[in-house]
Structure 1
Amino acid sequence: MFKRTTLVRSFRPPIAHIRAPTRRRFATEPPPTPPNTQSRIERFNRRLPKFLHKYTNALGSAPVSHITAFFILHEITAIVPLLGLAATFHYTHWLPGWFAEGGWALEGVERFGKYFKRKGWIRSGEAEEAELEVEMRTRDKAWNIGEGGVRLVVEFATAYTITKILLPARIVASVWATPWFARKTVVPLLAKFKGMFGRSKGKGTT
């Protein structure tokens, strides 16, 4: 009996030779997002209404190419309507009344008034005149805008208001177009820059 127990114990495999199963990493698993990119997405989400987070939260685990594509599209969907609407208002001499009044219009007047004055595109005092015109529009429902810098500031402020109201549609459109834009534009550009950097590095070592 003692010999049989000893024989069974002798055939037990050493514990040190038993390895825990390792987690297999598949080729389709996206690389981890850099911390600075994650913090940028978090800051971006804090500025958005909560109902838009369901569209942008997935960017936290997306590849860097998709995140870059989204931010490029987000800027495009802001700049194109802003410039297009401002040009339409300027050349048609028409302003939509509801969008050209209220708090958002005043915010746009202050923003573009300071920017245009810093660039030297309007005279000193025209930004304050534009702000006064928007305030009078809010109270009296009547425009008295002439030509020049005052009208330009109000036109851009109105275009800014409409572009800001379109933010939910812009976010949804940007998220929807992100995979296609990343595949067609961002990924080829990143590959091109990587190839150029690799060639220049190789020449430097020779």
Structure 2
Amino acid sequence: MTPKPSKFAPYREALATLSKRTRTPLPSLVISFAILHELTAILPVAGFFYGCRALGVGESIVRAVGQQQNQPEVSGGYMAQYRDSWVGERVREWMVEGEVRAERVGRRYGWFGFEKGSTMGDSSPEAQSAHAAFDLVSGRIAGDVANAVVAYALTKALLPLRIGASLWLSPPFSRTFVQPIGSAISRMFRR
């Protein structure tokens, strides 16, 4: 009786072929991809945040994209069609996720007007004023919170490009950084 092939066998073969073709060990490729994927998330978030801050566009973007259909400001035209589309709905979801993350980071590190270490039920005046400026549903997001929400949503929109760039750059990054560092660490422990 022959053993049943694993359902992961095709993936293992494809990864082994990639490793041979790029002349890079597979563990090194995986580590390189993970590092590059994180870098392609952190750098755009920071860049978009400071870009929105410098241009002062965070609040207006949140207000335009987050506006609900029942609000009378824009009833027709391109923006109304965009908001009613799948893309508009997806961007609003990313903005809500960004709102949650911005609040979590703001409360943890004391950024965006939140008191460091404050909790959601905090009744201090600083926490209440920060929370009052922090409501995507009503369109009342202000200042750096709006910039963080826009930066998060834009970075999420770039996910396919980030993954492609991480895959494309993994072999050279592995040969240039990961393998030499791994070799240095293994030499250090051999002594």
TM-score, normalised by the number of residues in structure 1? 0.57
- Alpha-carbon distance in structure 1 between the residues aligned to 2:102 and 2:65: 14
Structure 2, unpaired ranges of 5+: 1-7, 20-25, 67-91, 115-126
**Residue 64 (structure 1) aligned with residue 27 (structure 2):** yes
1:170 to 158, 162, 165: 162
| CA offset digits 1:123-165 (Å, max 9, x no partner) | 3135533442x2233xxxxxx66xxxx4112111110001011
SS of the aligned residue for 1:135 comes to: coil
What corresponds to 2:131 in structure 1?
128
**Residue 79 (structure 1) aligned with residue 28 (structure 2):** no
- Alpha-carbon distance in structure 2 between the residues aligned to 1:59 and 1:119: 43
| CA offset digits 1:56-104 (Å, max 9, x no partner) | x748985111100000000010000000000111122113627853221
Task: Please say if residues 109 and 127 of structure 1, whose CA atoms lie closer than 8 Å, have aligned partners that are also in contact.
Answer: no
* 1:177 to 1:119, Cα distance in 2 relative to 1, 3 A: same
Task: Please say if residues 28 and 174 of structure 2, whose CA atoms lie closer than 8 Å, have aligned partners that are also in contact.
Answer: yes
* 1:61 to 1:180, Cα distance in 2 relative to 1, 3 A: closer
Task: Please say if residues 59 and 67 of structure 1, whose CA atoms lie closer than 8 Å, have aligned partners that are also in contact.
Answer: no
**Percent of counterpart pairs with the same letter?**
31
* 1:157 to 1:89, Cα distance in 2 relative to 1, 3 A: same
- Alpha-carbon distance in structure 2 between the residues aligned to 1:116 and 1:59: 43
* 1:68 to 1:158, Cα distance in 2 relative to 1, 3 A: same
The count of residues paired between Structure 1 and Structure 2 equals 134
**Residue 97 (structure 1) aligned with residue 70 (structure 2):** no
Could you tell me which amino acid in structure 2 is paired with residue 167 of structure 1?
Answer: L
- Alpha-carbon distance in structure 1 between the residues aligned to 2:15 and 2:47: 31
Task: Please say if residues 70 and 175 of structure 1, whose CA atoms lie closer than 8 Å, have aligned partners that are also in contact.
Answer: yes
Q: Runs of 4+ in structure 1 displaced over 6 angstroms?
A: none
CA RMSD of aligned residues (A): 2.8
